[in-house]
Structure 1
Amino acid sequence: MGHVYRQLDAPTRAFIEQQPMFFVATAPTADGRVNVSPKGYADTFTVLDDTTVAYLDLDGSGIETVAHVRENGRITLMFCSFDRRAIIVRLYGTGRVVTLHDPEFPALLARFGPHPGVRSIIVVDCDRIADSCGWGVPRMSLIEERSTLDRWAARQDVQETRSYRARHNRASIDGLPGLSAGESDPVSQHS
């Protein structure tokens, strides 16, 4: 039924790169809420090597993933097939947050499509890669990607972005640190 892989083989890599969305799960170490976030935009995810992946962390109303990853590193990405092939792939690992102040940020950013609301890049070193059946996942058709998030972020000037991130991205819902004041500047460079 399910298989565990030492690394991302070619078919698994092709499968995850073809999915129009994926889910990110994180949790704080102590008492706190588990977070699961859907991620879209096909050009915001990339495979870096056989055991490392990354995705763009775009503006949003919360900062749970960044806060949890910074606190303990634990992260799981889940990719579901909504078409004819019934499969789920989970990437378990340790994440790290790369911000525009980190030396590796420009090279990583170049691997993604241009998006105006980039807060950071989440890099995941996978220590378990596993698939399972997706027999309970419904078959659905993608109509189109929503452009709403990009359009909203593009309308914000630098001060509006800083202000929004100060109100919504400084701490998680459980009070863990999110983005610092110095990390609230919008990213001006794009791939």
Structure 2
Amino acid sequence: MAKFYSELNEELRRFIEQQKIFFTATAPKSGRINLSPKGRDTFRCIDNKTAAYLDLTGSGNETAAHLNSYPDIGNEDNARMTVMFCSFDEKPLILRLYGRGRVIGPRHQEWDKFYSLFEPTPGERQIIVLDIESVQTSCGFGVPIYELKEERRTLVDWAEKKGKEGIVAYWREKNQKSIDGLPTKIFGD
């Protein structure tokens, strides 16, 4: 049965630390819902009401576009985000974090505060911070058991080969607008 919590607790934080994959979901006021898998050691629980992940360069930048499309931070409908973790080992569990997300870019005043929590990774683009409003667990009985073979190096290798200037050029070409035409503000505009 599903259980709701107002915040994370130590047991749920330990569960998150053990997971090798997580999924993020965001949606603009109109347009496509974005659901993305994330891997590597890029997720951090800051405290029981705040989490963040180091966002790596990808083919799109939907999460940033969706979160940045809500300039009126006081609006009840703004910047909704869900992060989901699934256990793929013997003990089944699904954990969802619901809240409001925000984008912290390298020029943002909070960049150093959050960036210090992560290992530098080639292709890093921004940090997504989730202010947690509620937490839900559910059984996960239908999720199959899988074993992690290894982390893919493809993204890191690609980013290293491109270099810093190549990554910035890629952002200019591919990461400035969402698939629905929303600005991502990757360059802080």
Which of residues 55, 67, 70 is equivalent to 2:68? 70
Partner Cα separation in structure 1 for residue 104 and residue 180 of structure 2: 22
SS of corresponding position for 2:11: helix
Which of residues 120, 130, 139 is equivalent to 1:133? 139
2:64 partner amino acid: V
1:85 partner amino acid: K
Partner Cα separation in structure 2 for residue 114 and residue 102 of structure 1: 17
| CA deviation after TM superposition for structure 1 residue 87, in Å | 0.7
Return 5+ residue gaps in structure 1 as ranges.
185-191
1:189 maps to none
Q: CA RMSD in A?
A: 1.3
| CA deviation after TM superposition for structure 1 residue 54, in Å | 0.1
2:85 partner amino acid: F
Moved over 3 A (4+): none
Q: Give yes or no for contact 2:68–2:185 (8 Å, CA) kept in 1.
A: no
| CA deviation after TM superposition for structure 1 residue 158, in Å | 3.1
* CA deviation string 1:21-48 (max 9, x = no partner): 0000111112x1111000000x210000
1:187 maps to none
2:182 maps to 176
Partner Cα separation in structure 2 for residue 159 and residue 153 of structure 1: 10
Trace 1:9-20 onto structure 2 (pairs within 5 A). 9-20=9-20
1:80 maps to 86
Partner Cα separation in structure 2 for residue 164 and residue 46 of structure 1: 27
Paired-residue identity, % = 49
Q: Give yes or no for contact 2:55–2:124 (8 Å, CA) kept in 1.
A: yes
SS of corresponding position for 2:114: helix
Does residue 160 of the first structure (1) align with residue 177 of the second (2)? no
Partner Cα separation in structure 2 for residue 116 and residue 158 of structure 1: 8
Return 5+ residue gaps in structure 2 as ranges.
70-77
Partner Cα separation in structure 2 for residue 149 and residue 183 of structure 1: 24
- TM-score normalised according to structure 1 size: 0.91
| CA deviation after TM superposition for structure 1 residue 183, in Å | 4.8
SS of corresponding position for 1:157: helix
* CA deviation string 1:155-175 (max 9, x = no partner): 113331121111110100000
Partner Cα separation in structure 2 for residue 52 and residue 156 of structure 1: 33
| CA deviation after TM superposition for structure 1 residue 113, in Å | 1.8
Structure 1 residues 66 and 37: CA distance shift in structure 2, 3 A: same
SS of corresponding position for 1:149: helix
Trace 1:27-106 onto structure 2 (pairs within 5 A). 27-30=27-30, 32-41=31-40, 43-71=41-69, 72-106=78-112
1:142 maps to 148
2:60 partner amino acid: G
Partner Cα separation in structure 1 for residue 184 and residue 68 of structure 2: 8
SS of corresponding position for 2:166: helix
Between the two proteins, the alignment pairs up a number of residues equal to: 181
* CA deviation string 1:135-177 (max 9, x = no partner): 1111000011111111111111333112111111010000000
SS of corresponding position for 2:173: helix
